[in-house]
């Protein structure tokens, strides 16, 4: 199957600096790809090039089968875009906004109205549909923005940090909406700074730094690339650190790392029961004992070399 | 082509819907010129003399009409900066709509605004004693020239609005509207200014429209001695066309390259 989003060697220069510098990406139809990276890595530039808002200086990009440079109008008919701000008219009502954008999608008045009402219902905005957007909460605006991007049932949806600045409940609502879109076959490219968001939503993640993709894989693969699981102990008494470290080393056969009241070592999940048994036998008091997977944060920091 | 017109109309309707939700906006558009009419007619007008004689209020109103058209520029700029700042312009650019509609919609919306403001001002002028003395055709031609000037300045406002995302630039534009408005024959005869300044004022595009409408309305103070003021009516067509020839291509080019 040909990818719905395909970029090869994309370059975008601003003055002397390259915002995109050999950016490669391939997103199969019906999947969600997360672009993860720090501020200024080039995520937003990539989305703006792929959604025809910016012209690139080199490389090729195809979206929904069309070249973004030579067939921008066809690309625009196939995509939806949710930018970093809620791009809606504050003075008009939510319903008026959706009808406006629907008509600009050339839906026709009756069809635009019908789609607007469907989407208001779906995004839980039916009750507030006739109120001006200026009275909406941040989460409601975001949902309206997302609804506006879905008016023409796009094949490809670009979401540029869709949950930045949202409270946890609104974030969950957006996540649920995005998941159901992907389940319905929409291809989604989502940029985020939140590792948890990428972890929860993405089929594949591309880590972006300095305008190119530095690592790519499923969330599990990326986390697996950092090695095994770890067992971590949190003690209550600093004097017991030495004996706890010895105990961990004996059970896991790995070199333990201590940090304040914590001591951890690479381990197989099955070793956890042994550790707990040994702790009880040694009568060491502890606050917590846990089996931990590497987080995407650790993967990210490891690959980008920010912290180490 | 069909979509260019339909999309333009859709965006005009957007503005009309905004107006319906915030009618107070119109009050702002017309309150300032009304106040200016009252200030100039009643506070300052006593000290004003019209060259060649005649009523100062009759002299003043064409100036007020033209100045209101000119001061609409910052309103256009505000609307454009607002849309760009909120990402609405980016949304338009990512839609399969006709790109020209963003411009035609803006021009149509601002002309609706200008026509409403003009209607209120005409009422205000009639109330303070101003009258159009020309034929119906001349009166309509004068109104046409005013809206033509406004159209040219809408495009200037669009271009300036696309040039910046900084709201403080709008304040700067609002401030610069004053010398543009006052360094003209709108409120006083240019013959009362120092010679060189009078020449600058006469070549101000606003002055051509002011003088041309004085001629067409049959209001006093239209008689000019210089070439530009004695050719005011053709110049009131030429100036806006020159402005359009500059700002239409600039705006279209800028819109296509936004963010690049």
pLDDT score for A178: 92
Q: How far is B250 from chain A (nearest CA, A)?
A: 18
Q: What is the percent of chain B with per-residue pLDDT over 70, rounded to a whole number?
A: 99
Other Cβ atoms within 10 Å of A198 Cβ, number: 25
Angstrom CA distances, A43 to A40, A174, B171, B226, stand at: 7, 20, 34, 60
Please tell me the predicted confidence (pLDDT) of residue B23. 83
Say yes or no for a CB contact (<8 Å) between B91 and A148: yes
Compare CB distances from B94 to A55, A79, A96 and report the shortest one's residue: A79
Q: A11, A22 in Cβ contact below 8 A?
A: yes
CB A268 within 8 A of CB A228: yes
Q: Quote the pLDDT of residue B206.
A: 94
> Helices (DSSP H) in chain B: which residue ranges?
2-21, 24-38, 56-85, 88-93, 100-128, 136-163, 167-182, 195-203, 205-217, 227-230, 232-256
A182 touches chain B (CB under 8 A): no
Nearest of A189, A134, A86 to residue B18 by alpha carbon: A134
Under an 8 A CB cutoff, do A52 and B18 touch? Answer: no
A77, A86, A104: residue with CB nearest B7: A104
Q: What is the mean pLDDT of chain B?
A: 91
Q: What is this structure's pTM?
A: 0.84
pLDDT digits (tens, 9 = 90+) for A219-238: 888 877 766 688 888 888 88
pLDDT at residue B108 in the model: 95
Could B18 and A73 be called an inter-chain contact, meaning their C-beta atoms sit closer than 8 Å? Answer: no
Residue B230 has pLDDT above 90, yes or no: no
- Scanning every residue of chain A, which has its alpha carbon at the shortest distance from the alpha carbon of B90? A53
Q: What is the pLDDT of residue A1?
A: 63
Residue B143 to chain A, least CA–CA distance (Å): 31
Asked if B166 has any chain A CB less than 8 Å from its own CB, the reply is no
What's the pLDDT score for residue A130? 95
User: Quick one: closest CA in A to B84, which residue?
Assistant: A87
Query: From the list B6, B90, B101, which residue is nearest A53 (CB)?
Result: B90
pLDDT of residue B156: 96
A52, A85, A132 ranked by CB distance to B94: nearest: A52
Which of B29, B136, B115, B137 minimizes the C-alpha distance to B74? Answer: B29
Asked if the Cβ–Cβ distance from B88 to A89 is below 8 Å, we say yes
Structural domain boundaries of chain B?
Answer: 2-6+24-44+53-256
Alpha-carbon distance of A144 to A162, in angstroms, equals 12
CB contact under 8 A, A87 and B86: yes
- Check CB contact under 8 Å for A84 and B87: yes
Q: Name the strand (E) or helix (H) holding A300.
A: helix A296-304
Q: Give every residue of chain A whose pLDDT is below 50, as ranges.
A: 307-308
Contact by Cβ (8 Å): A64, A79: yes
The verdict on ipTM greater than 0.90 is no
Confidence of residue B28 (pLDDT cuts 50, 70, 90): confident
Q: Please give the domain boundaries of chain A with CATH numbers for all domains.
A: 5-224 (3.40.50.300), 230-292 (3.30.70)
Q: Is A83 on the interface with B (CB under 8 A)?
A: yes
Q: Radius of gyration (Cα) for chain A, nearest Å?
A: 24
Q: Which of B83, B87, B258 to mutate to test the interface with A (most CBs of A within 10 A)?
A: B87
CB contact under 8 A, A55 and B260: yes
A227 CB burial (10 A radius; 0-12, 13-18, 19+): exposed
Q: Tokens 């980008």 map to which residue?
A: A304
**C-alpha torsion sign, points B24, B29, B32, B37:** negative
Alpha-carbon gap: B76 to the closest alpha carbon of chain A (Å): 16
Q: What is the pLDDT of residue A308?
A: 35
Read off the pLDDT of residues B83-119 as tens digits, 9 standing for 90 and up.
998 899 999 999 999 999 999 999 999 999 899 899 9
Most confident of the following: B140-149, B177-186, B195-204, B220-229: B140-149
B16 touches chain A (CB under 8 A): no
Among positive and negative, which fits the CA dihedral A169, A174, A175, A180? positive
Distance (Å, rounded) from C-alpha A290 to C-alpha A287?
A: 10
- C-alpha–C-alpha distance, residues B63 and B214, integer Å: 8
**Binary contact (B94, A53; C-beta < 8 A):** yes
For the beta carbon of residue A45, count every other beta carbon within 10 angstroms. 23
| Unique residue bearing structure tokens 């100039």 | B40
Residue of chain B minimizing CA distance to A91: B18
| Strands laid side by side in the A32-36 sheet | A79-82, A156-160, A187-192, A32-36, A204-209, A212-217
> Which chain B residue lies closest to A51 (C-alpha atoms)?
B94
DSSP-derived secondary structure letter, A235: E
């Amino acid at each position: 199957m040909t990818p719905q989003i395909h970029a090869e060697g994309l370059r975008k220069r601003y003055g002397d600096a390259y915002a995109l510098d050999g950016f490669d990406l391939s997103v199969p139809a019906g999947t969600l790809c997360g672009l993860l990276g720090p501020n200024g890595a080039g995520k937003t530039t990539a989305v703006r090039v792929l959604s025809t808002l910016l012209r690139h200086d080199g490389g090729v990009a195809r979206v929904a089968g069309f070249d973004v440079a030579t067939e921008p109008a066809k690309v625009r008919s196939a995509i939806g875009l949710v930018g970093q701000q809620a791009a809606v008219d504050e003075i008009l009502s939510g319903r008026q906004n959706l009808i406006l954008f629907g008509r600009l999608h050339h839906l026709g008045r009756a069809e635009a109205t019908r789609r607007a009402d469907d989407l208001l219902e779906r995004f839980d905005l039916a009750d507030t549909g006739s109120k001006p957007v200026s009275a909406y909460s941040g989460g409601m605006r975001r949902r309206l923005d997302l609804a506006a991007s879905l008016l023409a049932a796009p094949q490809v949806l670009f979401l540029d940090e869709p949950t930045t600045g949202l409270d946890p409940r609104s974030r969950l609502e957006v996540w649920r909406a995005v998941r159901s879109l992907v389940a319905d076959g929409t291809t989604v490219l989502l940029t985020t700074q939140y590792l948890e968001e990428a972890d929860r939503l993405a089929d594949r993640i591309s880590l972006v730094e300095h305008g190119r993709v530095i690592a790519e894989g499923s969330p599990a693969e990326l986390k697996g690339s950092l090695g095994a699981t770890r067992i971590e102990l949190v003690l209550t008494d600093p004097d017991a650190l030495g004996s706890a470290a010895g105990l961990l080393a004996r059970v896991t056969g790995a070199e333990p790392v201590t940090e304040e009241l914590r001591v951890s070592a690479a381990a197989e999940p099955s070793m956890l029961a042994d550790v707990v048994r040994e702790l009880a036998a040694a009568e060491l008091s502890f606050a917590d004992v846990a089996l931990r997977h590497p987080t995407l944060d650790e993967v990210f920091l490891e690959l980008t070399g920010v912290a180490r | 082509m069909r979509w260019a017109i339909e999309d333009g109309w859709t965006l005009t309707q957007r503005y009309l819907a905004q107006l319906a939700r915030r009618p107070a906006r119109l009050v702002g558009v017309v309150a300032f010129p009304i106040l200016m009419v009252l200030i100039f007619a009643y506070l300052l007008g006593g000290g004003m003399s019209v060259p060649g004689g005649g009523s100062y209020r009759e002299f003043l109103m064409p100036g007020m009409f033209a100045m209101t058209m000119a001061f609409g520029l910052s309103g256009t700029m505000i609307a454009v900066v607002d849309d760009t700042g909120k990402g609405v312009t980016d949304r338009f650019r990512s839609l399969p709509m006709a790109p020209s509609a963003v411009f035609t919609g803006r021009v149509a919306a601002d002309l609706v605004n200008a026509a409403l403001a003009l209607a209120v001002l005409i009422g205000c002028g009639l109330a303070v004693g101003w009258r159009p003395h020309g034929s119906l055709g001349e009166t309509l031609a004068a109104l046409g020239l005013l809206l033509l000037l406004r159209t040219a300045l809408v495009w200037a406002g669009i271009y300036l609005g696309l040039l910046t995302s900084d709201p403080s630039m709008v304040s700067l534009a609002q401030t610069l509207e004053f010398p543009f408005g006052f360094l003209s024959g709108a409120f006083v005869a240019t013959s009362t200014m120092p010679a060189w300044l009078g020449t600058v004022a006469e070549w101000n595009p606003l002055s051509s429209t002011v003088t041309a409408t004085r001629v067409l309305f049959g209001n006093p103070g239209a008689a000019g001695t210089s070439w530009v003021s004695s050719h005011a009516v053709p110049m009131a067509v030429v100036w806006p066309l020159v402005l359009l020839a500059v700002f239409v291509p600039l705006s279209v080019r800028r819109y296509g390259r936004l963010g690049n």
